[in-house]
Amino acid sequence: MGECIFCEIVEDQAPARRLIEDERTLAFLDINPATTGHALVVPKAHADDLLDIPVEDLTAVTVTAQRLARASMTALEADGVNLLQATRAAAFQTVFHMHVHVIPRYAEDGIRLPWIPTPGDPERIDETADRLRAAL
């Protein structure tokens, strides 16, 4: 992969505030933190996003995210944690090396959901469920 910043970080060719590493994953702090402790977990092997990451790497990324979530609760005294994964530009992805954001949450951090929960049309929800089931 040419020009992938997260591959460069994995290979220690670019600086990062590295937090934890294992055979398949690396976690480091985000340079634009949404909250104190906002971290990214990446597979060491390049994958573009959630759609192409092998399941073994996805599992390992999730386990590392859980470790970070637990550490955020204790070391940073977070009140909660959000995981965020963006796949494709339409979903906010800007770095096209699969990563999971681990965002410690604090009672007064002011972060809001990016949508307003509103009841959907039941028929449309039923139809959507049918379309998805047909593909699963």
Q: Which residues bind ligand 5GP (CB under 6 A)?
A: 5, 16, 28-32, 40, 86, 92-95
The C-alpha atoms of residue 81 and residue 104 are separated, in whole angstroms, by 4
Residue list 86-105, contact with Zn ion (CB under 5 A) = 97
Shortest Å distance, C-beta 56 to Zn ion: 17
Shortest Å distance, C-beta 7 to Zn ion: 3
Nearest Cα neighbor of 6 from 35, 38, 41 is 41
Q: Which residues pair with 42 in a beta bridge?
A: 26
Among positions 30, 34, 44, 46, the unique one binding Zn ion when judged by CB under 5 A: 46
Shortest Å distance, C-beta 52 to Zn ion: 12
**Catalytic residue among 38, 46, 97, 99, which?**
99
Tell me, yes or no, if 99 is annotated catalytic.
yes
Q: What are phi and psi of 42, to 5 degrees?
A: -125, 150
What is the number of H-type helices and E-type strands within the chain?
3, 5
Exposed/middle/buried for residue 6 (C-beta within 10 Å: 0-12, 13-18, 19+): buried
Cβ atoms of residues 26 and 42 within 8 Å: yes
Which of 90/135 has CB closer to ligand 5GP?
A: 90
Verify binding: residue 24, Zn ion, rule CB under 5 A. Answer: no
Sequence letter at residue 88: R
Shortest Å distance, C-beta 41 to ligand 5GP: 11
Q: Which residues are catalytic?
A: 99
Which residues of the chain form contacts with Zn ion (CB under 5 A)? 1, 4, 6-7, 46, 97
